[in-house]
Amino acid sequence: MSHYQILIIGGGTAGITVAAQLRKKAKDLQVAILEPSDKHYYQPAWTLVGAGTYKFKETERPEANYIPKGVTWIKDKAVSLTPESNAVMTATNGEITYDYLVLAPGLIMAPELIPGLKEALGKGVVCSNYTDPEHTWEVLKNFKGGNAVFTQPTTPIKCGGAPQKIMYMAEEYFRKASVREQTNVVFATPGTVIFGVKEFAKTLNKIIIERDILFKPHYAPIKIDAEKQEITFKYTHENIAQCADTIVPALGESLVGDSEIVMKFDMLHIAPPQQAPDFVRNSSVSMQDGPSKGWVDVDINTLQHKRFPNVFSLGDVAALPTAKTGAAVRKQAPVVVGNLIHLIRTNAIAGLKYEGYSSCPLVTGYSKMVLAEFKYNNVRDSDPFISKFVDTTKEQYSMWLLKKHVLPIMYWEGMLKGRA
């Protein structure tokens, strides 16, 4: 049985960033990362891959290149977690124990939660940038008109804005390919608004009106029939009587019962349902009930576990009421690192707090982007330096350049090296 002072589960954005910062700030601490993957991906660029303006191979690098010097890499995966005894069971290395645990395994795709999706995903005209952005690009190139439907599930997902980013880029591509006039572009979401932060929603609402995009709120996908090219939605508005009024005959929509709507599609882009890994959901570290059931139960400011004080969590797996993005990790990591080091040295955490910052670079075309930055309670939280020069609530070419060229460098050379 192996034992480590600090065990980090997950070698993605959050795990590597925390490990790199720990090595910079406290070289005397013994740190190990449990991570099975050989490859590390810069997933924020997958939207651009799906739109044909970024190469997939440029988003992929060897994991070994980013394990910080002095950190032990356990190339294995967790299968169960028992925080009561500070133990993790792995697939091949048996049991590993720890003094302190940082949970950053990310989330997993769960397409099986929507009947028909698992069988359809990545085949024919059903695509997802979350799983295979190169297939999305093939679908866009082959599209000849009809219903182009973009949707997302009721579960929390990575980067909540991603399902609409690819829609904006696809809509522009359809215009360039001269198929836009034969196309209905539909954004169907279980949500109630196009975006939760009003300053950015105002801009996005203007865009969808100007570009004749059909916005369908209260549409929760519940079933896919790839053969018939039909998707079924549950209408989630409390006033079910409104359901019939939302039907658009031109979309080939039909009502089933009083609250289900069947829509035809000629291409479907969907964010699959997503959830915490099984070893987290089946462990007492996760919330046992409520809307965040299955996600890691941490204090939303200190990122320390509410019941196991030697456990911290950040990134996609943590139960935090903000968007699951790499930008959020950039603000979370210093809080985890500072509080953890202080806990080890003094037996009490430091006063460091995470205020819910996240950022969603909302690409609205092939040369435009709205940089949506916000914190808890959907309060705008734009960078004061950038805001001096650019109105980030409006579409900007400069923000597009930031997304395509600057942020990848900042990720590989800044965050993952513990510098940003």
From the list 170, 360, 371, 407, the catalytic residue is: 360
Task: Give the bridge partners for 109, in sequence order.
Answer: 274
What are the residues facing 255 on neighbouring strands?
A: 261
Residue pair 361/399 in contact (Cβ under 8 Å)? The answer is yes
E strand or H helix at 374, and its extent? strand 369-375
In order, the DSSP letters of 306-361 are SS-TTEEE-GGGB--SS-B-HHHHHHHHHHHHHHHHHHHHHSS--S------EEEE
In order of 148, 188, 256, the CA distances from 217 in angstroms are 16, 6, 18
Any idea how long the chain is? 420
H-assigned helices in 215-323: 278-281
In the three-class reduction of DSSP (H, G, I as helix; E, B as strand; rest coil), residue 387 is classed as helix
The rounded Cα 13 to chain-centroid distance in angstroms is 12
Residue bearing tokens 């890499």: 73
Residue recorded with tokens 């080091």:
341
- Are 214 and 185 contacting, i.e. CB atoms less than 8 angstroms apart? yes
Half-sphere exposure of 9 (CA within 13 A, CB side): 32
Q: Are 211 and 171 in contact (CB under 8 A)?
A: yes
Distance (Å, whole) CA 352 – CA 350: 6
Collapsed DSSP state (helix, strand, coil) of residue 22: helix
Q: What is the 3-state secondary structure (H, E, C) of 79-133?
A: EEEEHHHCEEEECCCCEEEEEEEEECCCCEECHHHCCCHHHHCCCCCEECCCCCH
User: Is 243 labeled as catalytic in the residue annotation?
Assistant: no
Helix (H, G, I), strand (E, B) or coil at 274: strand
- The residue from 159, 323, 335, 341 that is catalytic is 159
Contact status, residue 267 vs residue 127, Cβ threshold 8 Å: yes
CA dist., res. 20 & res. 337, Å (int):
10
For the annotated catalytic residues, the residue numbers are 159, 360
